[in-house]
Protein backbone atom coordinates (compact mmCIF):
# COMPACT_ATOMS: atom_id res chain seq x y z
CA UNK A 1 0.00 0.00 0.00
CA UNK A 2 1.29 3.46 -0.89
CA UNK A 3 0.57 6.52 1.28
CA UNK A 4 1.11 10.10 0.13
CA UNK A 5 4.46 10.14 1.93
CA UNK A 6 5.53 7.09 -0.04
CA UNK A 7 4.87 8.36 -3.53
CA UNK A 8 8.48 9.35 -4.04
CA UNK A 9 10.21 6.03 -4.35
CA UNK A 10 13.08 4.28 -6.04
CA UNK A 11 12.83 1.18 -8.19
CA UNK A 12 15.82 -1.12 -8.44
CA UNK A 13 15.68 -3.09 -11.68
CA UNK A 14 18.15 -5.86 -12.38
CA UNK A 15 18.14 -8.05 -15.48
CA UNK A 16 19.13 -11.61 -16.17
CA UNK A 17 21.41 -13.14 -18.79
CA UNK A 18 19.73 -13.63 -22.12
CA UNK A 19 17.60 -16.73 -22.59
CA UNK A 20 18.15 -18.80 -25.77
CA UNK A 21 15.28 -18.76 -28.22
CA UNK A 22 13.03 -21.81 -28.32
CA UNK A 23 13.75 -24.37 -30.99
CA UNK A 24 11.76 -23.89 -34.20
CA UNK A 25 8.73 -26.13 -34.45
CA UNK A 26 7.20 -27.53 -37.65
CA UNK A 27 4.15 -25.31 -37.03
CA UNK A 28 5.80 -22.02 -36.12
CA UNK A 29 9.05 -20.73 -37.63
CA UNK A 30 11.07 -18.34 -35.49
CA UNK A 31 11.67 -14.76 -36.60
CA UNK A 32 14.98 -13.37 -35.40
CA UNK A 33 14.81 -10.29 -33.18
CA UNK A 34 17.38 -7.55 -32.76
CA UNK A 35 17.97 -8.22 -29.07
CA UNK A 36 17.86 -11.31 -26.87
CA UNK A 37 14.99 -11.94 -24.50
CA UNK A 38 15.81 -10.94 -20.95
CA UNK A 39 13.07 -10.67 -18.31
CA UNK A 40 13.52 -7.96 -15.69
CA UNK A 41 13.52 -8.38 -11.96
CA UNK A 42 12.17 -5.42 -10.04
CA UNK A 43 11.84 -4.42 -6.41
CA UNK A 44 10.26 -1.23 -5.08
CA UNK A 45 11.84 0.39 -2.05
CA UNK A 46 11.31 3.49 0.02
CA UNK A 47 13.00 4.72 3.17
CA UNK A 48 11.06 2.46 5.54
CA UNK A 49 10.18 -0.77 3.86
CA UNK A 50 10.65 -3.01 0.86
CA UNK A 51 7.69 -4.09 -1.22
CA UNK A 52 8.16 -7.44 -2.92
CA UNK A 53 7.44 -7.41 -6.64
CA UNK A 54 5.89 -10.85 -6.27
CA UNK A 55 2.77 -9.17 -4.90
CA UNK A 56 0.15 -8.63 -7.61
CA UNK A 57 -0.45 -4.95 -8.24
CA UNK A 58 2.86 -3.69 -6.89
CA UNK A 59 3.87 -0.86 -9.19
CA UNK A 60 7.22 -2.36 -10.05
CA UNK A 61 6.57 -5.04 -12.61
CA UNK A 62 7.31 -3.79 -16.10
CA UNK A 63 6.33 -6.05 -18.98
CA UNK A 64 8.81 -8.09 -20.96
CA UNK A 65 9.14 -8.36 -24.72
CA UNK A 66 9.64 -11.98 -25.70
CA UNK A 67 11.12 -13.46 -28.86
CA UNK A 68 9.27 -12.35 -31.97
CA UNK A 69 7.79 -15.28 -33.86
CA UNK A 70 5.54 -16.06 -36.75
CA UNK A 71 2.74 -17.00 -34.35
CA UNK A 72 1.75 -13.38 -33.90
CA UNK A 73 2.51 -12.50 -37.50
CA UNK A 74 -0.22 -14.95 -38.50
CA UNK A 75 -2.64 -13.51 -35.94
CA UNK A 76 -2.26 -9.77 -36.45
CA UNK A 77 -4.16 -7.78 -39.03
CA UNK A 78 -3.04 -7.40 -42.60
CA UNK A 79 -2.11 -3.73 -42.44
CA UNK A 80 -4.10 -1.69 -44.91
CA UNK A 81 -2.62 1.45 -46.40
CA UNK A 82 -4.79 4.46 -47.21
CA UNK A 83 -3.79 7.40 -49.36
CA UNK A 84 -5.13 9.91 -46.86
CA UNK A 85 -4.45 9.64 -43.15
CA UNK A 86 -5.21 13.20 -42.16
CA UNK A 87 -8.77 13.47 -43.55
CA UNK A 88 -11.75 12.51 -41.44
CA UNK A 89 -12.90 10.09 -44.14
CA UNK A 90 -9.51 8.39 -44.07
CA UNK A 91 -9.63 8.09 -40.29
CA UNK A 92 -13.16 6.63 -40.26
CA UNK A 93 -12.25 4.24 -43.06
CA UNK A 94 -9.35 2.88 -41.03
CA UNK A 95 -11.52 2.47 -37.93
CA UNK A 96 -14.22 0.72 -39.98
CA UNK A 97 -11.76 -1.78 -41.42
CA UNK A 98 -10.33 -2.37 -37.95
CA UNK A 99 -13.72 -3.64 -36.77
CA UNK A 100 -14.83 -5.10 -40.12
CA UNK A 101 -11.81 -6.82 -41.65
CA UNK A 102 -12.04 -7.79 -45.29
CA UNK A 103 -12.56 -11.49 -45.98
CA UNK A 104 -9.29 -13.35 -46.47
CA UNK A 105 -8.06 -14.36 -49.88
CA UNK A 106 -8.71 -17.95 -50.86
CA UNK A 107 -6.11 -20.10 -49.13
CA UNK A 108 -3.63 -22.13 -51.08
CA UNK A 109 -3.88 -25.91 -50.96
CA UNK A 110 -1.06 -26.07 -48.41
CA UNK A 111 -2.66 -23.41 -46.23
CA UNK A 112 -6.15 -24.89 -46.28
CA UNK A 113 -4.86 -28.34 -45.43
CA UNK A 114 -3.11 -27.32 -42.23
CA UNK A 115 -4.33 -24.02 -40.76
CA UNK A 116 -3.13 -22.95 -37.32
CA UNK A 117 -5.92 -23.95 -34.94
CA UNK A 118 -6.34 -21.59 -31.98
CA UNK A 119 -8.13 -22.07 -28.69
CA UNK A 120 -9.11 -19.06 -26.56
CA UNK A 121 -9.02 -19.22 -22.76
CA UNK A 122 -11.80 -17.00 -21.45
CA UNK A 123 -14.40 -14.92 -23.25
CA UNK A 124 -12.66 -11.66 -22.35
CA UNK A 125 -13.62 -8.43 -24.11
CA UNK A 126 -10.09 -8.03 -25.45
CA UNK A 127 -10.41 -11.30 -27.39
CA UNK A 128 -12.54 -9.68 -30.09
CA UNK A 129 -9.92 -7.18 -31.18
CA UNK A 130 -6.85 -9.21 -30.28
CA UNK A 131 -7.70 -12.54 -31.89
CA UNK A 132 -11.18 -12.90 -33.39
CA UNK A 133 -11.18 -10.04 -35.90
CA UNK A 134 -7.54 -10.59 -36.93
CA UNK A 135 -8.24 -14.28 -37.53
CA UNK A 136 -11.08 -13.36 -39.89
CA UNK A 137 -8.58 -11.80 -42.29
CA UNK A 138 -6.16 -14.76 -42.32
CA UNK A 139 -7.05 -17.94 -44.22
CA UNK A 140 -4.29 -19.89 -42.47
CA UNK A 141 -5.72 -19.29 -38.97
CA UNK A 142 -8.82 -20.88 -37.46
CA UNK A 143 -10.18 -20.10 -33.99
CA UNK A 144 -11.47 -23.57 -33.24
CA UNK A 145 -12.50 -23.41 -29.58
CA UNK A 146 -13.50 -21.08 -26.76
CA UNK A 147 -13.50 -21.89 -23.04
CA UNK A 148 -15.29 -19.89 -20.35
CA UNK A 149 -16.26 -20.55 -16.75
CA UNK A 150 -19.90 -19.89 -17.63
CA UNK A 151 -21.62 -22.23 -20.11
CA UNK A 152 -23.93 -19.53 -21.44
CA UNK A 153 -21.08 -17.11 -22.04
CA UNK A 154 -19.02 -19.72 -23.87
CA UNK A 155 -21.99 -20.65 -26.07
CA UNK A 156 -22.80 -17.00 -26.82
CA UNK A 157 -19.19 -16.28 -27.78
CA UNK A 158 -19.10 -19.33 -30.05
CA UNK A 159 -22.34 -18.33 -31.81
CA UNK A 160 -21.26 -14.74 -32.31
CA UNK A 161 -17.89 -15.60 -33.83
CA UNK A 162 -18.66 -18.90 -35.51
CA UNK A 163 -16.39 -20.94 -33.23
CA UNK A 164 -16.88 -24.68 -33.67
CA UNK A 165 -16.25 -25.80 -30.08
CA UNK A 166 -17.40 -24.23 -26.81
CA UNK A 167 -16.24 -25.47 -23.41
CA UNK A 168 -18.10 -24.07 -20.42
CA UNK A 169 -18.32 -24.50 -16.68
CA UNK A 170 -15.93 -26.04 -14.20
CA UNK A 171 -12.90 -27.54 -15.89
CA UNK A 172 -13.56 -25.72 -19.18
CA UNK A 173 -10.05 -24.31 -19.52
CA UNK A 174 -8.42 -27.70 -19.00
CA UNK A 175 -10.83 -29.37 -21.44
CA UNK A 176 -9.72 -26.92 -24.12
CA UNK A 177 -6.06 -27.62 -23.35
CA UNK A 178 -6.72 -31.35 -23.60
CA UNK A 179 -8.27 -30.95 -27.06
CA UNK A 180 -5.83 -32.66 -29.49
CA UNK A 181 -7.02 -30.50 -32.39
CA UNK A 182 -5.71 -27.28 -30.80
CA UNK A 183 -2.23 -26.12 -31.93
CA UNK A 184 -1.95 -22.87 -30.00
CA UNK A 185 -3.70 -21.07 -27.17
CA UNK A 186 -4.48 -17.39 -26.72
CA UNK A 187 -4.45 -16.45 -23.02
CA UNK A 188 -6.28 -13.15 -22.26
CA UNK A 189 -7.11 -14.08 -18.66
CA UNK A 190 -6.49 -11.58 -15.82
CA UNK A 191 -2.81 -11.03 -15.02
CA UNK A 192 -2.96 -13.11 -11.85
CA UNK A 193 -4.02 -16.17 -13.88
CA UNK A 194 -1.41 -15.86 -16.65
CA UNK A 195 1.21 -18.04 -14.99
CA UNK A 196 -1.06 -20.92 -13.99
CA UNK A 197 -2.79 -21.36 -17.32
CA UNK A 198 0.21 -20.64 -19.50
CA UNK A 199 2.20 -23.31 -17.69
CA UNK A 200 -0.72 -25.74 -18.09
CA UNK A 201 -1.01 -24.90 -21.80
CA UNK A 202 2.71 -25.48 -22.33
CA UNK A 203 2.49 -28.74 -20.39
CA UNK A 204 -0.28 -29.78 -22.80
CA UNK A 205 2.04 -29.11 -25.74
CA UNK A 206 0.37 -25.91 -26.96
CA UNK A 207 2.08 -22.79 -28.28
CA UNK A 208 0.89 -19.74 -26.33
CA UNK A 209 0.07 -16.17 -27.31
CA UNK A 210 0.03 -14.48 -23.90
CA UNK A 211 -1.51 -11.14 -23.07
CA UNK A 212 0.78 -8.60 -21.45
CA UNK A 213 2.24 -8.42 -18.94
CA UNK A 214 3.47 -12.00 -19.02
CA UNK A 215 2.90 -12.59 -15.31
CA UNK A 216 2.65 -10.96 -11.90
CA UNK A 217 6.33 -11.49 -11.11
CA UNK A 218 9.66 -11.73 -12.86
CA UNK A 219 10.21 -15.17 -11.34
CA UNK A 220 7.00 -16.49 -12.88
CA UNK A 221 8.03 -15.01 -16.21
CA UNK A 222 11.43 -16.68 -16.11
CA UNK A 223 9.85 -20.04 -15.31
CA UNK A 224 7.33 -19.79 -18.15
CA UNK A 225 9.88 -18.96 -20.83
CA UNK A 226 12.32 -21.56 -19.53
CA UNK A 227 9.57 -24.20 -19.66
CA UNK A 228 8.55 -23.14 -23.19
CA UNK A 229 12.16 -23.50 -24.32
CA UNK A 230 12.44 -26.92 -22.69
CA UNK A 231 9.26 -28.05 -24.45
CA UNK A 232 10.31 -26.58 -27.81
CA UNK A 233 7.22 -24.37 -27.91
CA UNK A 234 6.64 -20.73 -28.75
CA UNK A 235 5.54 -18.44 -25.91
CA UNK A 236 4.97 -14.89 -27.12
CA UNK A 237 3.86 -11.80 -25.19
CA UNK A 238 1.04 -10.24 -27.21
CA UNK A 239 2.32 -6.78 -28.08
CA UNK A 240 0.94 -5.65 -31.45
CA UNK A 241 3.15 -2.68 -32.23
CA UNK A 242 6.45 -4.49 -33.13
CA UNK A 243 4.74 -6.02 -36.17
CA UNK A 244 3.32 -2.77 -37.52
CA UNK A 245 5.18 -0.99 -40.35
CA UNK A 246 5.05 2.29 -38.41
CA UNK A 247 7.14 0.91 -35.55
CA UNK A 248 9.50 -0.77 -37.99
CA UNK A 249 9.97 2.57 -39.75
CA UNK A 250 10.72 4.33 -36.44
CA UNK A 251 13.21 1.61 -35.60
CA UNK A 252 14.89 1.95 -38.98
CA UNK A 253 15.30 5.72 -38.56
CA UNK A 254 16.86 5.37 -35.12
CA UNK A 255 18.98 2.29 -35.83
CA UNK A 256 20.16 3.85 -39.09
CA UNK A 257 21.43 6.85 -37.07
CA UNK A 258 19.80 9.37 -39.39
CA UNK A 259 19.46 11.62 -36.32
CA UNK A 260 22.56 10.38 -34.51
CA UNK A 261 22.60 8.59 -31.18
CA UNK A 262 19.71 8.78 -28.72
CA UNK A 263 20.14 11.43 -26.02
CA UNK A 264 16.82 11.03 -24.18
CA UNK A 265 13.39 9.44 -24.52
CA UNK A 266 9.87 10.10 -23.28
CA UNK A 267 7.10 7.48 -23.46
CA UNK A 268 3.55 8.00 -22.25
CA UNK A 269 0.44 5.85 -22.29
CA UNK A 270 -2.38 7.29 -20.21
CA UNK A 271 -6.12 7.89 -20.29
CA UNK A 272 -8.25 10.66 -18.74
CA UNK A 273 -10.29 10.27 -15.59
CA UNK A 274 -13.57 8.55 -16.38
CA UNK A 275 -12.25 6.44 -19.24
CA UNK A 276 -12.17 3.32 -17.06
CA UNK A 277 -15.00 2.25 -14.77
CA UNK A 278 -14.32 1.56 -11.11
CA UNK A 279 -15.38 -2.05 -11.72
CA UNK A 280 -12.65 -2.60 -14.32
CA UNK A 281 -10.31 -5.47 -13.40
CA UNK A 282 -7.38 -3.09 -13.91
CA UNK A 283 -8.23 -1.68 -10.47
CA UNK A 284 -8.33 -5.08 -8.74
CA UNK A 285 -5.19 -5.78 -6.74
CA UNK A 286 -5.88 -9.50 -6.41
CA UNK A 287 -6.05 -9.88 -10.21
CA UNK A 288 -2.73 -8.13 -10.81
CA UNK A 289 -4.10 -4.63 -11.35
CA UNK A 290 -2.32 -1.29 -11.49
CA UNK A 291 -1.29 1.17 -14.19
CA UNK A 292 2.25 -0.18 -14.55
CA UNK A 293 0.94 -3.72 -14.88
CA UNK A 294 -1.46 -2.59 -17.62
CA UNK A 295 -0.25 0.45 -19.58
CA UNK A 296 3.23 0.75 -18.14
CA UNK A 297 4.39 -2.51 -19.69
CA UNK A 298 3.81 -0.95 -23.13
CA UNK A 299 6.02 1.97 -22.20
CA UNK A 300 8.94 -0.12 -21.04
CA UNK A 301 8.53 -2.56 -23.91
CA UNK A 302 8.90 0.05 -26.64
CA UNK A 303 11.64 1.89 -24.74
CA UNK A 304 13.67 -1.32 -24.56
CA UNK A 305 13.07 -2.06 -28.23
CA UNK A 306 14.13 1.41 -29.38
CA UNK A 307 17.15 1.44 -27.07
CA UNK A 308 18.13 -2.12 -28.05
CA UNK A 309 18.82 -2.72 -24.37
CA UNK A 310 17.30 -3.09 -20.93
CA UNK A 311 17.54 -0.28 -18.36
CA UNK A 312 20.57 -0.39 -16.08
CA UNK A 313 19.34 1.95 -13.35
CA UNK A 314 16.25 3.72 -12.06
CA UNK A 315 16.95 7.41 -11.60
CA UNK A 316 13.59 8.31 -10.06
CA UNK A 317 10.06 6.98 -9.67
CA UNK A 318 6.79 8.16 -8.17
CA UNK A 319 3.33 6.62 -7.94
CA UNK A 320 -0.11 8.24 -7.74
CA UNK A 321 -2.61 6.43 -5.55
CA UNK A 322 -6.30 6.67 -4.73
CA UNK A 323 -8.13 6.07 -1.47
CA UNK A 324 -10.66 4.06 -3.47
CA UNK A 325 -7.94 1.67 -4.65
CA UNK A 326 -5.19 1.88 -2.03
CA UNK A 327 -3.32 -1.27 -3.08
CA UNK A 328 -2.54 -0.30 -6.67
CA UNK A 329 -0.92 2.59 -8.50
CA UNK A 330 -3.34 4.78 -10.44
CA UNK A 331 -0.39 6.25 -12.28
CA UNK A 332 3.38 5.95 -12.22
CA UNK A 333 6.18 8.06 -13.65
CA UNK A 334 9.71 6.67 -13.70
CA UNK A 335 12.97 7.81 -15.25
CA UNK A 336 15.29 4.96 -16.18
CA UNK A 337 18.87 4.98 -17.42
CA UNK A 338 19.52 3.04 -20.63
CA UNK A 339 23.00 2.30 -22.00
CA UNK A 340 23.96 4.33 -25.05
CA UNK A 341 24.31 2.62 -28.41
CA UNK A 342 27.94 1.53 -28.13
CA UNK A 343 27.41 -0.05 -24.71
CA UNK A 344 24.08 -1.62 -25.69
CA UNK A 345 25.74 -3.25 -28.70
CA UNK A 346 28.60 -4.51 -26.55
CA UNK A 347 26.09 -5.95 -24.07
CA UNK A 348 24.18 -7.70 -26.86
CA UNK A 349 27.35 -9.21 -28.29
CA UNK A 350 28.44 -10.40 -24.84
CA UNK A 351 25.03 -11.92 -24.06
CA UNK A 352 24.15 -9.51 -21.24
CA UNK A 353 21.61 -6.69 -21.22
CA UNK A 354 22.82 -5.03 -18.01
CA UNK A 355 26.47 -4.07 -18.44
CA UNK A 356 28.24 -2.01 -15.80
CA UNK A 357 28.20 1.50 -17.28
CA UNK A 358 28.83 4.95 -15.89
CA UNK A 359 26.19 7.69 -15.87
CA UNK A 360 27.93 9.37 -18.82
CA UNK A 361 27.43 6.18 -20.83
CA UNK A 362 23.64 6.21 -20.43
CA UNK A 363 20.67 8.29 -21.53
CA UNK A 364 17.46 8.94 -19.53
CA UNK A 365 14.05 7.61 -20.54
CA UNK A 366 11.00 8.94 -18.72
CA UNK A 367 8.02 6.57 -18.78
CA UNK A 368 4.49 7.48 -17.70
CA UNK A 369 1.39 5.34 -17.32
CA UNK A 370 -1.87 6.60 -15.83
CA UNK A 371 -5.48 5.45 -15.47
CA UNK A 372 -6.92 8.84 -14.51
CA UNK A 373 -5.22 11.89 -15.93
CA UNK A 374 -6.71 14.92 -14.16
CA UNK A 375 -8.54 17.65 -16.12
CA UNK A 376 -6.48 20.56 -17.35
CA UNK A 377 -7.17 23.84 -15.55
CA UNK A 378 -9.46 21.81 -13.32
CA UNK A 379 -12.26 21.40 -15.88
CA UNK A 380 -10.89 20.71 -19.39
CA UNK A 381 -10.84 16.92 -19.95
CA UNK A 382 -7.38 15.52 -20.50
CA UNK A 383 -6.56 13.86 -23.81
CA UNK A 384 -5.41 10.28 -24.25
CA UNK A 385 -1.62 10.10 -24.31
CA UNK A 386 0.07 7.44 -26.43
CA UNK A 387 3.35 8.74 -27.77
CA UNK A 388 7.09 8.30 -27.91
CA UNK A 389 9.45 11.26 -28.18
CA UNK A 390 13.10 10.51 -28.89
CA UNK A 391 15.69 13.29 -28.77
CA UNK A 392 18.88 12.52 -30.66
CA UNK A 393 22.18 14.26 -31.41
CA UNK A 394 20.88 15.79 -34.64
CA UNK A 395 17.16 16.03 -34.22
CA UNK A 396 13.98 14.65 -32.74
CA UNK A 397 11.49 11.89 -33.58
CA UNK A 398 7.89 11.84 -32.36
CA UNK A 399 5.75 8.72 -32.83
CA UNK A 400 2.07 9.29 -32.10
CA UNK A 401 -0.21 6.41 -31.08
CA UNK A 402 2.43 3.71 -30.86
CA UNK A 403 0.10 1.38 -28.94
CA UNK A 404 -2.68 1.30 -31.58
CA UNK A 405 -1.06 2.41 -34.86
CA UNK A 406 -3.56 0.49 -37.01
CA UNK A 407 -6.26 2.98 -35.94
CA UNK A 408 -4.21 6.10 -36.62
CA UNK A 409 -0.62 7.24 -36.22
CA UNK A 410 2.02 9.57 -37.52
CA UNK A 411 5.80 9.88 -37.29
CA UNK A 412 7.23 13.38 -37.06
CA UNK A 413 10.93 13.81 -37.79
CA UNK A 414 12.84 17.04 -37.20
CA UNK A 415 16.50 17.15 -38.27
CA UNK A 416 18.90 19.76 -36.94
CA UNK A 417 22.45 20.77 -37.77
CA UNK A 418 23.65 19.67 -34.35
CA UNK A 419 23.54 23.24 -33.06
CA UNK A 420 19.79 23.49 -32.67
CA UNK A 421 18.92 24.88 -36.11
CA UNK A 422 16.22 22.90 -37.93
CA UNK A 423 17.29 21.86 -41.41
CA UNK A 424 14.44 19.48 -42.27
CA UNK A 425 10.98 18.57 -40.96
CA UNK A 426 8.71 15.84 -42.27
CA UNK A 427 5.77 13.67 -41.30
CA UNK A 428 5.46 10.03 -42.29
CA UNK A 429 2.68 7.43 -42.09
CA UNK A 430 2.79 3.72 -42.77
For 141-162, write each residue's pLDDT tens digit.
999 999 999 999 999 999 999 9
Tell me the residue length of the chain: 430
The better pLDDT of the pair 77, 212 is held by: 212
Q: What is the mean pLDDT of residues 22-26?
A: 32
Question: Can you give the three-state secondary structure of the chain, one letter per residue?
Answer: CCCHHHCEEEEEEEECCCECCCCCCCCCCECCCCCCECCEEEEEECCCCEECCCCCCCCCCCCCCCCCEHHHHCCCCCCCCCCCCCCHHHHHHHHHHHHCCCCCCCCCHHHHHCCEEEEEECCCCHHHHHHHHHHHCCCCEEEEEEEECCHHHHHHHHHHHCCCEEEECCCHHHHHHCCCCCCEEEECCCHHHHHHHHHHHHHCCCEEEECCCCCCCHHHHHHHHHHHHHHCCCEEECCCHHHCHHHHHHHHHHHCCCCCCEEEEEEEEEEECCCCCCCCHHHCHHHCCCHHHHHHHHHHHHHHHHHCCCCCEEEEEEEECECCECCCCCEEEEEEEEECHHHHHHHHHHCCCCCCCCHHHEEEEEEEEEEEECCECCCECCCCEEEEEEEECCEEEEEECCCCCCCCCEEEEEEECCCCCEEEEEEECC
Secondary-structure class of domain 70-240 per CATH: alpha beta
Confidence of residue 418 (pLDDT cuts 50, 70, 90): confident
Give the range among 12-16, 138-142, 294-298 with minimum mean pLDDT.
12-16
Residue 70: pLDDT over 70? no
274-308: per-residue pLDDT in tens? 999 999 999 999 999 999 999 999 999 999 999 99
pLDDT (mean) for 364-374: 96
pLDDT at position 13 over 80: no
Q: What are the Cα distances from residue 50, in Å, to 47, 53, 55, 142, 328?
A: 8, 9, 12, 47, 15
Per-residue pLDDT at 99 exceeds 80: no
Higher-pLDDT residue of 36 and 117 is 117
Question: What pTM value is reported for the model?
Answer: 0.76
Per-residue pLDDT, averaged over 82-104, amounts to: 58
pLDDT-based confidence at residue 407 (cuts at 50, 70, 90): confident
Tell me the per-residue pLDDT of 244-254, one tens digit each, with 9 for 90 and over. Answer: 999 999 999 99
Average pLDDT over all residues of the chain: 79
pLDDT at residue 106, rounded to an integer: 56
The residues carrying an active-site annotation are: 212
Give the confidence band of 346 by pLDDT, cuts at 50, 70, 90: low
Domain spanning 4-63+242-428 has what CATH number? Answer: 3.30.360.10
Domain ranges of the chain: 4-63+242-428, 70-240
What's the mean pLDDT in 356-376?
Answer: 91
For the cut 50, the answer to whether the pLDDT of residue 22 exceeds it is no
Asked whether residue 97 carries a pLDDT value surpassing 90, the answer given is: no
Instruction: Report whether pLDDT(50) > 50.
Output: no
Amino acid sequence: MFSSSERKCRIIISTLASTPRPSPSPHVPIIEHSRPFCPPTAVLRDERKQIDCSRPGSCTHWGVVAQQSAVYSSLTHCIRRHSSFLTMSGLFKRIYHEFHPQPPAAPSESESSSPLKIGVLGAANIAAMAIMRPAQSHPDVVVLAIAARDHARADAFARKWGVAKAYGGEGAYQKLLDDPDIDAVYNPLPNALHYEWTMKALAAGKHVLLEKPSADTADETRKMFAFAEKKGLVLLEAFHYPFHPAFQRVKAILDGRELGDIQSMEVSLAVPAGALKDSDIRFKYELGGGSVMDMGCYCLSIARDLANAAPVKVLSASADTSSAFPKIDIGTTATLAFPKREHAENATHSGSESPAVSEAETFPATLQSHFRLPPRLGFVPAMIQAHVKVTCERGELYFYNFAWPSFYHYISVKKTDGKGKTVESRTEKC
